[in-house]
Structure 1
Amino acid sequence: MKLLSFLIAVLLLSQGAIAQSELPLKKRSAFYAPETLSNIRDNLEKHPEGRQLKLDAVKKAAFWKELSDDELWDLMFGPKITRSWMVWSNGDCPACKKSVPMYTWIMEPQKLRWKTRCPHCKELFPKNDFAAFYQSGLDEQSVFDPAQADRKLLFNTEHPDPADPLHQFGVDDGEGYVADGKRWRFIGAYLVYGQFKQLVLGGINALGTAYVFTGDEDYARKAGILLDRVADLYPSFDYATQGLVYEQRNTQAYNGYVSIWHDTCEETHELALGYDQVFEGLRDNTGLVAFLSNKAKNHKLPNPKNTFAAVQQNIENGILRDPLKNTKKIHSNFPRAECTAATLQTVLGWPENRAEVEAFIDTFVQRATAVDGVTGEKGLSGYSSYTISGMANFLAQYSRAEPDFLARLIERQPSLKQTYRFHIDTFCLDRFYPDSGDCGGFGKPANKYVGVNFQKLTKPTLAPSMFSFFWQLYEATGDPAYVQVLHRENGRTLNGLPHDLFVANPNAVRKNVATVIAREGADVELGSINKEGWRIAILRSGTKENARALWLDYDSGGSHGHHDAMTIGLFAHGVNLLPEFGYPPVQFGGWKTEKAQWFLHTAAHNTVTVDGRNHPKSAGKTTLWADGKNFRAISASSPQVTGGRYERTVALVDVSASEFYVLDLFRVAGGTDHAKFVHGPNGKMVTDGLQLKPTDDYGNKTQMRNFQRDTNSPTGWTATWNVVDQHDLIPAGKSVSFRYTDLSSDIQAYTAEAWIPSYFRSFDEEIWNPALMIRRRGQDIKTSTFVSMMEGFERKPAIAKLTRLSLFDAEGVQVADASAAIEVALPKGFTDLIIAMDPELLKSGAVFKQPQWGVELSSELVWIRRDSKKRLVRASFANGNLLKIGNSIIEKAENTEFVEVDFTAAPLKRPTR
C-alpha cells in the first residue's frame, strides 16, 4: 500500500496545490470516445447476435429507466447505518432455525426493497416496515439519521398488536434484530448486497451499457443522476469505522467505502468506467443539470450543480479523486488497487496524461509479474488467478482503446509473457489445479483455465473480451498456447469468436484462429514444469485419459498461503488422489476459528509436522530435477522449517501407458516428534499388515478423531482407499483406488479421520475422511527418513511386490537409513530398482553398492528397469557421475544433473561419457 500511495502521489504532483474546485476537468471519454461508440453500434448491426444483445441491454436497464428521477436519486443512502458483510456469519434463520451462514440470505431489491429472504423457509426479514422508518429519519440533505427516525414504526407489521408476543419478532432498526443474545443484521447486509451492489452500482452499469449500445442519451442522463448522488456521499463512507466483518469491527484492517476493501476496489473501478461510458452523453445534457441543480438547492448541498462543469467537479472529486487521496480505502490484493488507481487517472485525464499513466502501469506490472510471471500470492487457482485476471481486464481495456498498447507493454515488461502462461503450465489433466493455499475444494475439479475469465457474448456487456485479449497475446508473443486455450474455452469451436463487439472483423479472427489450430493442434502440449520462483513443480506423464501429474509445493506461508512446506498432490485416472482440503471454512465465525485454522495447519496437508507445530514461513529450493521418458523426479530442501534438515524427493515412474507408481522419500532432522500425514481421496480406507488399537488423538489443534495405532508397524504395510466419486469424474462402470505402501523403518502407523466440510457452501454437510499418520518420536530421534510408494489404479495395482534392499559403502559397511534402495516387482516379470542416496554421503565423490543387482553408483537418485530375463531395459541417474550395472557402465567426467539410457536401443558393455 505504501508503494501505491507513493506512486499516486507522484502522479498527482503535476496538479500541485490546486483547490478541488480548480482542478482540471475531464475533456473526453478515455475508453468510449465518439468513434469507439460509433464502431460498437455499427458492429451490433453486423453481428448476428447484435440485435438481441441490444434488446437485452434495454430490457436490463428498463427497471431504472422507468423509475422517476427522484426515485433514482433516492436510491443512494448515507453512512449512518452500520453495514455488515454478513447477516450473521455463522447464523441461522430466526423463523425456521436452519443454518443460513455467510452469504446465503437472498436479496432481490428490484422486487422487494429493504428485505432479505431465508433460503429455506422463504420468510422475509426484517418484519417491520423499514422503508417507512428510513423515510422518517431523512435529514435536510436526504441522508438517514437514526436519531431523527420515528421509533414508533419499529414493530412487526404482521403482528401489529403490542400485546402480541410476536410484535417485536424480526424487527430491525438498522442495527439488527436481537433475540436471546443473538443479532441478525438484515438491513446492515442488505445495504451492501441489495441497495448498493444491485440497485445503485447495478443501475449505473445497466444504464451505461444501454447508452453505449443504443446512443439514447436518456440512459446516460439517468446514469448521471446515480453517479452524481453517489459522488455526494462516497467520501463520507469509511468501512473501517462503519462496517463489520464476522460481527467484528477492525479499524486497521477493514478499510473501504460502502463495502470492505477488496470489493470497494472493484466497485470504485466500476464507478470510474461507468462515468467514462456515459460521459459523451452527459456533457451537453441540460436536463441533467436542471434536475441536479434543483436537488442541490432543495437539499442545501454544497455544490450548486448549476452547470455541467459543476456536476463534473462533483463526480470527479467524489468518485475519482477521493480514492486517489485515500488509497487505504481501495487497497486490495496486488495489483488490483494499482489497476483501479491507473483507471481513475486515465478517466480523469487521458490522453494528456498518457506518459504519466503508462509509467505508473510499468511500475506495478513489473512487480506483478516478478514471480514466474505472477505476483507470488498463494491460492493458485484462487487469489493467484484473481489478481492477474483483473489485470487482464485492465490491460485489455487499454488495448481496446490503443491497439498497440499490449505489444508495447510486453516489449517494455517482457516478464508479462509468462503471466498468462502460468495457469496454462499448472493446469493438470485438463481438469485440475494444485490447490496450494486458499483455493479450491476437497477433490473438486477446476475444469477451466482460471488465469482470465472467458465469457461468451451471450448477454449485454462492455467487459473486454478475453478471447480477443488472448489473440492479442498470441500476436505479441507468437506462443500458440494462447490460441489453443481460447479455442478450448470456446468449446473447441470457432463459433462466435472472438465474442467482442469492439472487433471490426470477427470473421478474420476466426479464420486466423483456425489456421493456428490446424498448424499447431488443438491441445497445449505440456511436459513437467518447475516454477522455481513460486516454488511449485509438476511432474507429468501419460496422455488423455491416462494422463497423470504429481506436484510438489516447496515453500510455506505467504499471502493466502498455508503451513504446507513440501506438501504433495497427485492427479490420475481423472481424479484427485491426494487432495488438498481447499479454501478454509470461514463460515463458522471467520478466519480465526479453529475450523478455519485447521485448513491452514501443517497436519492438514500431505507433509511432515515437527513437534506438532505449524511450519514457519519458508522458501525451499530445488536440489534435483530429472525429466526423462519414463522417469521423472524432483528433490527440494527447506531447512528453515526445522532449523535442521527438511527435504523431500518424489519420483513419477511409468509402468505402461496407463500404469505408474510414485516414490516418496522425506528426510527430517530437528525436534523430537516427526509425524507424516497422508490425506487420501474421499472414500473408504482399508489397511493390510497392521494390528491397530484405539489410541490418543494427535491433538495440537487438529480437527481429527478416531486415532488407532500399531506400535510395532512392519515394513511394507499398506492402506488402500476406494474412491467415492463425489464430483462425477469417473466414467460409468469404472472404479478408482489409491494405495499407499510404507517402507519406513522404526515407525508407528496410525489411522484416523480428518474433518472436512464437503463443499464450501454446503454448510450442513461434512466428511470425516480416512487419513494416515506415520510417526517417529522420542528424545533419541535425530533424523527420520519416511519412505513410501503410492499408486492409483482401476482394476488392480501395477506393483506386485516391494522389497527394501540394503546399500553398502566401498568398504562393505551398510549405509544408514537416510539412503534407500527399493526393488519393485511389476507385471510381466519386469522389475525396477530405485536408489535414493543421502546427498550428504556423496559430497566426497564416494561410491556405493547394491549387491543383489550388481550396482555401483555415485549418484543421488538412480532408476533401473529389467525385463523378465533380467536384461536391462532403461536406466537413469540424477546428480551424479557414475552408474555401473553389472558390465554396463554409465560414467560422466563431472557431476551431471540427469542422464537417461535406453538399453533396448544400444546395450552398454563399456563406459559412456
Structure 2
Amino acid sequence: MPGYPMLFLMICLLIVVIAIPNKVCGDPRPVFKPNADEGDIESLLRVLEKVLALDDSELVALVPEQSGFRFVDCPNCDGGAEENQLTWTIDRPDEVYCQFCEMRFPNERFPENGTMEVRNELDEVQKYPYWEAPFPPPMELTLALAPLAPDKKYRHYFRAKGWFTAREYLSNAAQQLAELYYLTGDENYARRSALIIDRFAQVYPGYCARYDHPFRAKVVFSGEQTFPYPVSPYLAAKWAYWAYGDIPYNMVFAYDLIHESGVVSEAAKDRIENDLFHASVRFVRSYPITLSNMDPTILRGLISVGRVLNEPGYLHEAVDWISDLIHKQLFVDGMWREGAVSYHNQTINGLEGVMQLLDGYSDPEGYVHPESRERLDDLDLADAFPLFVKAKKIQDLLKYPNGRTVALHDTWAWQERDPLEASHSLLFPGVGHAVLGRGEGEHQLQAHLHFSGAYGHAHADLLSITLFAHGQERLSDIGYTWTHHRQWASSTLSHCTVMVNGEEQTRGHLRDPSDGNLTLYVAEDEDFQVVEADGIRAYPEMVEEYRRMLIAVGISEEDAYLVDVFRVKGGQRHEYILVGDANHDGTAETSLERTGFDSLLPSGVKVVFPSGETVPGHAEGHNFHYGYVKDMTSSPAPGEWQVDLTSEGEPNAEVRVHGRSHLDGDLIFGQSPSVRRAEESEGRLEDYKMATLIHRREGEDLNSTFVSVLEPFAGEPIIHSVERLSGKPGDVILKITRGDGVDYIACTSEHGILEVEDLTLHGRMGFVRERAKQVAGLTLIGGTLLRKGDHQVSGEGVISGKITGVLRKGRGDGIDGLVVDVPVPEGKVVQGTTIIVKDGAGFSIGLRLDEISERNGQTVLLLQDDPGFEMTADGKSRHIYFPGREWEGTNWFEIVNVVKREFQ
C-alpha cells in the first residue's frame, strides 16, 4: 500500500532465492542461477515493457549522473510518513508525484527556486535544484554536520528524489533483463542489461557521498571529503540512503548472468568490475563493522561480488562476519539483541539468505587465507551454528493465534504468518519475555509479560503486558510506526504497565542496562500458570520495588482469566495503565459516576507534539505523552471497582477488569491514538483511537500493590464475583466465584505465613480450586504447606544455593548443566521446572531443568538447553552470547518447588 515502509520492500528484495550450483569459485558462469523458469518470461516482459520500448540512447540517458535523496517531503499534504511520499515513474522521468495527493513536482506552486552546487571527486560541479520552504527543517543537524548547512533552510530536492528512485528502478531492470536473457538466450536482453550496468559504472566514480535523513537538511559531501565522515557509521552513502545498501548486488547478479553472453566488451567489464563493484565494496568496507540488523544487506553485496569476481578474501571475511553476528548479537534464547520481532526476523531471514549464497563454495585450488591460514571447502552453514537454528524458530513462536506478530518494541504489528493451532507457554529468558498460553483453535489465550532491556529499537515498556483472547488482541502494544506518533507508540504511557512520577521508564543501554529480572516462572499446568519479574531498573533511584506477577487460570477448555499483581514502592505518583485493542475501536465502560477530566498535565501547560518520528516533543518540562490521551472522564477510585474494556473486533468480546487494589486515587478513562489502522499515513492518525484506563495515585513515598482480575469473555461473564480477603500488608488473597465453584489465589508478600479463615499457606503461592463446595485441587508453589479445611499438600519449599561450576556442550563438556553446592532431592523436583539463576552482577534468568545428576560427588542440575554463561576458576563469569557481560561474585540458583494434588 502507498506509504507502507520501504524497509518491507527491501526485505522482500533480500529474500530472492538463488540456487548456487558451482562448488568452486571461478567455475563456468553463472555462479548464481535465478529462481525463475520459462513460466516467468511473460511476467518479466510485462514488467519491462516500458524499458524495452526505449531506444538505447533514451535508456542510457535515464541513468542518474548524480546520487539522489530518498527522503523528500510532499509540501502539499500530510499523507504517508517519514518524508517518503514522493515517487517517480519512467513515463515522466523529469518529475515526481505524491502517492497520496497525486500532485506532481516541481510545479508553479512549488517551483525549483534554488540550486545547491558541490564539486565531486572528479572535480566536476554537480547541481542539486530545490524548492525552499519558508520555514526551517523540523530538526536541526548534529553539531558535526551543522557547519555544512549553516543557513538552516528546509529544501525539497524533487529532482534528486527522482534520481534516487530511478537508480533503484533501473538497477532492478538490469537484473530483470539479465534474467530474461538467461531464460530466452536472446542477446538483446543481455545487451540492454549491460548498457545499464556499464552506464552506472561510468557515472559511479562521480557520485558524491551524502547525508540523507528525514526532517533534517540534506548534506552532500564534496569530493575532498572522505572517511571518516562526520556522521555515525554508514550514514554517509553514495548509492542507497545509507551505506548498508551501497553494494549494488542486484547488478552483480545481473552481471553474472550476462558475463559470458559475448555482448560485454573487455573495457566495459573492467569498468564494471573495478569502477563499480570493487569501488562500492571499498567504500562500504571503509566503515567499521558494527554488527547491526542491516549487516546482512552488506554481506549480500560482499558475497555476491566475492563469488562473481572470484575474490575469496571477501568470502572469508563474510563467514567470520556471519559468525560474529550470531555469537555476539543473539541472546542465549536465539533472540536478536534488539528484542523487536520485526528486526529479529529481518536479521535472521537476511542471514539465512546470505548463507545460501555461500552454499557449496570452495576456495580456488591452492588458496589459503593469508591471515587465518584457513581455507573454505564445500561450505554449508545452514546447521553450522546451533544458536542460529534456535533463532530461526522464533518467528513462528512469537505470534498470536491469528498469526499476527507479537508487537514487541519496534515491531510491525501488521506482519503475520500462519495462524496457530494451539497456544502454549513460552519463556525467552535471554531477551526477557514470557508467554502464558493455553487452548486450541478459536479458544486460544495468550498473556504476555515483557521484561527486556533496551538494546536498540526499544520501547519504554518494562513489565508491560498484552492479552489475546477470543480471536483478537484485547490488550495491545501498538508496535512500530514511522509516523510522527512513533514516540507515543514507544512511550511508557501507551503500554500496559505502571508509570512512576509521570516519567518515562529508563531505557538503558549496554553500559547501564535496564533489563528486568525473572523471579518466578511456573507453567507446567495449563490451568494454573505464573510468571513474575522485577523491573526496578526502569526507575533507578526512584523506586525500591517495581515487580509484576501475572497468573493465568483456566476454567474450561474455552475460558480463562488472569490475575495481575503489580507492586510499586517509591515515588510521588503511580499510574497503573491498561490500553485496549489497537486494531479496533473500543471503550472503557463502568457503572461508576464520572465527571469530565481536562488533562493529565497540570492546568495551562502547553504541549508541542513531534511533527516527525524523530522530532522532539515537549510540554514545559512535563511528559508530553500525557497530551495524547483525550476525551477523558474520571472517578474517585473506590476500594473495589469494575471496568469493561470493549472492542468492535470480531468475534465480539471484552475484558472485564475487576480492580481489587483497595487503594485510593482516581480512575481516569480516555481515548488515545491506536496508530496501526492509519497504515503509516500521517493524515489519518487522529482517526483511530483505543480505550485507555489509568488508576492514578499521588502522595509522598507511595507504596502501591495494584491488584486486578482480567476476565476476557464473549457473551456472558464467566466470573460471578471477586473478593479480596484481608491479610498482612502486601499479601494478596483473592476469592473468585465462577460458574461451578470458587478459586482461592494466595500470594504472600515475603514468602511467609498466611492464614485467612480456613486457608493456611506457608510459602510463596497457593491455589485452591473448589467445585460444589468441595476442595477439588491444591497447588503449592515455593512452600511447605497449603491447607484448605481438611485438605492439604506439603512441599520442599524453595531450594537454593551457590553455583560452583557450569557445564556446556558447546565447550565440549558433553552436557549442559550447573554444578551446585547443595543436594537437590531427586523425585522432589518436577522435570521442566524453571531454575532461577541469579548472577553476581545482579541479573537473573530462567533455565529449564531436565534432571538431577551427580558428577564427581557433586550435584549437577542437567539443563534442557545451553546455560549461556561460563565460570572460571578465579571466580569470574561471562556471557557466551549477547549481551556479553563479564562479572565477579557468586552465582546463585533457586528452584521453586511446585506440588499439585487433585481430590476429585
What TM-score do you get using the length of structure 1 for normalisation? 0.70
CA distance in structure 2 between the partners assigned to 1:213 and 1:57 by the alignment: 10
Helix, strand or coil at the partner of 2:475: coil
Tell me how far apart the structure 2 counterparts of residues 34 and 715 of structure 1 sit (CA, whole Å).
Answer: 79
- Give a deviation string over 1:870-899, Cα, whole Å, max 9, x none: 212222232333222223222123425352
Counterpart in the other structure of 1:785: 705
The aligned counterpart of 2:381 is 409
> Offset at 1:74?
2.8
Q: Which residue of 2 aligns with 1:497?
A: none
- CA deviation digits over 1:289-308, x for unaligned, max 9? 2xxxxxxxxxxxxxxx7474
Name the amino acid aligned to 1:204.
Answer: A
**More off after superposition, 769-778 vs 53-62:** 53-62
2:671 aligned residue? 753
Could you tell me which residue of structure 1 aligns to residue 346 of structure 2? 386
Post-superposition Cα deviations, 1:202-241, rounded to whole Å, max 9, x if no partner, equal 2222123223323434433332332233234435545544
The residue type equivalent to 1:857 in the other structure is L
Query: What residue is the counterpart of 1:227 in the other structure?
Result: 197
In the TM superposition, what is the alpha-carbon distance from 1:385 to its structure 2 partner?
1.7
State the distance in 1 between where 2:171 and 2:661 align.
60
- Secondary structure of 2:678's counterpart equals coil
- Is 1:825 the counterpart of 2:801? The answer is no
State the partner residue of 2:838: none
* Aligned pair partner of 1:724 in 635, 643, 648: 648
Runs of 4+ in 1 over 6 A off after TM superposition: 28-32, 35-40, 128-134, 137-144, 179-182, 328-331, 404-407
**In structure 1, distance between residues paired with 2:377 and 2:528:** 44
Match for residue 518 of structure 1? none
Q: 1:383 to 1:717 in 2, by over 3 A?
A: same
Provide the secondary structure at the position in 1 that maps to 2:644: strand
Q: Please give the residue correspondences for 1:701-720 in structure 2 after superposition, counting only pairs within 5 Å.
A: 701-702=624-625, 703-711=628-636, 713-720=637-644
Match of 2:237 in 1: 257
Shift of 1:113: 0.9
SS in 1 for 2:251: helix
Judged with a 3 Å threshold, the aligned counterparts in structure 2 of structure 1 residues 131 and 74 are, in CA distance, closer, same or farther, namely: farther
CA offset at residue 127 of structure 1? Answer: 3.1
1:211-610 alignment runs, 5 A limit = 211-234=181-204, 236-241=206-211, 243-249=212-218, 251-253=230-232, 255-258=235-238, 261=241, 264-266=243-245, 268=247, 271-279=248-256, 281-283=258-260, 285=262, 287-289=263-265, 306=267, 308-309=269-270, 311-326=272-287, 333-349=294-310, 355=316, 357-380=318-341, 382-399=342-359, 408-409=380-381, 411-441=383-413, 446-448=415-417, 526-584=423-481, 586-588=482-484, 595-610=485-500
SS, match of residue 412 in structure 2: coil
118 and 330 in structure 1: CA distance in 2 versus 1, 3 angstrom threshold? farther
AA paired with 1:390?
G
1:695 Cα deviation (Å)? 5.4
> Is the 1:859–1:881 contact (alpha carbons within 8 Å) kept by the matching residues of 2?
yes
Counterpart in the other structure of 2:563: 663
Native 8 Å contact 1:99 1:764 kept in 2:
yes
Shift of 1:721: 2.3
Q: Aligned pair 1:878/2:784, yes or no?
A: no
Q: Does the aligned pair in 2 maintain the 1:683–1:721 contact within 8 Å?
A: yes
User: 1:59 & 1:65 partners in 2: Cα distance?
Assistant: 10
Query: Residue 119 and residue 439 in structure 1: after superposition, are their counterparts in 2 closer, same or farther (change >3 A)?
Result: same
Q: Distance in 1 between matches of 2:26 and 2:756?
A: 73
Unpaired runs of at least 5, structure 2: 1-21, 137-153, 220-229, 363-375, 509-513, 602-621, 799-894
Partners of 1:32 and 1:714 in 2: how far apart? 78
Query: What SS class does the counterpart of residue 92 from structure 2 fall into?
Result: coil
CA offset digits 1:47-82 (Å, max 9, x no partner): xxx4321232344345444544433433332337xx
> Is the CA contact (8 Å cut-off) linking 1:257 and 1:329 kept in structure 2?
no
Alpha-carbon offset, residue 659 of structure 1: 1.4
Q: In the alignment, which residue of structure 2 is the partner of 1:474? A: none
The one-letter code sitting in structure 1 at the alignment partner of 2:694 is M
Q: Distance in 1 between matches of 2:473 and 2:57?
A: 56
Work out the CA distance in 2 between the residues paired with 1:714 and 1:130.
59
Aligned partners of 1:406 and 1:805: how far apart in 2? 68
Q: Number of paired residues? A: 706
Q: Partner of 1:636: helix, strand, or coil?
A: strand
Kindly indicate whether the alpha-carbon contact (under 8 Å) linking 2:129 and 2:159 is maintained by their aligned counterparts in 1: yes
Q: 1:324 corresponds to which letter in structure 2? A: R
2:537 aligned partner:
640
Are residues 1:174 and 2:129 paired? yes
Contact persistence 1:680–1:770 (CA under 8 A): yes
The equivalent of 2:147 in structure 1 is none
Larger Rg belongs to: 1
Give the direction of change, closer, same or farther, for the CA distance of 1:325–1:622 in structure 2 (3 Å limit).
Answer: same
Contact kept in structure 2, 1:30 and 1:351, CA below 8 Å: no
Answering whether residue 835 of structure 2 is matched by residue 864 of structure 1, we say no
- Structure 1, unmatched stretches of 5+, are 1-27, 45-49, 148-172, 290-304, 450-487, 489-522, 589-594, 808-814, 906-913
Matches of 2:164 and 2:572, distance apart in 1: 51
SS of 1:219's partner is helix
Mapped pair 1:892 → 2:795: yes
- The letter for the 2-side match of 1:859 is G
Separation (CA, whole Å) in 1 of partners of 2:778 and 2:745:
10
State the 1:437 CA deviation: 0.9
Map of 1:736 onto structure 2: 653
Counterpart in the other structure of 2:693: 772
Asked if the contact 1:32/1:276 (under 8 Å) is kept, the reply is no
Q: Distance in 2 between matches of 1:364 and 1:329?
A: 9
Separation in 2, partners of 1:583, 1:51: 40
In 2 relative to 1, CA 68–325 (structure 1 residues): closer, same or farther, beyond 3 Å?
farther
Name the CA shift for 1:336/1:663 in 2 (closer, same or farther; >3 Å): farther
The AA in structure 1 aligned to 2:172 is G
Greater relative contact order structure (CA < 8 Å, 6+ sep) = 2
- Per-residue CA distance 1:397-429 (angstroms, 9 max, x = gap): 333768x99995355421111111111121220
Q: Percent identity?
A: 18
Q: Which residue of 2 aligns with 1:795?
A: 715
How far off is 1:138 after superposition? 14
Displacement, 1:29?
A: 11
Deviations 1:268-289 (Å, cap 9, x if unpaired)?
Answer: 2xx235324433632573x532
Structure 2: how far apart are the matches of 1:634 and 1:176?
57
Match of residue 197 from structure 1: 168
Contact 1:272 1:347 in 2 (8 A): no
Q: How far apart in 1 are the matches of 2:190 and 2:111?
A: 28
Range that drifts further, 870-879 or 212-221: 212-221
Q: Specify whether residues 405 and 429 from structure 1 end up closer, same or farther in structure 2 by C-alpha distance, changes over 3 A only.
A: farther
Structure 1 residue matching 2:483: 3-state secondary structure: helix
More strand by share: 2
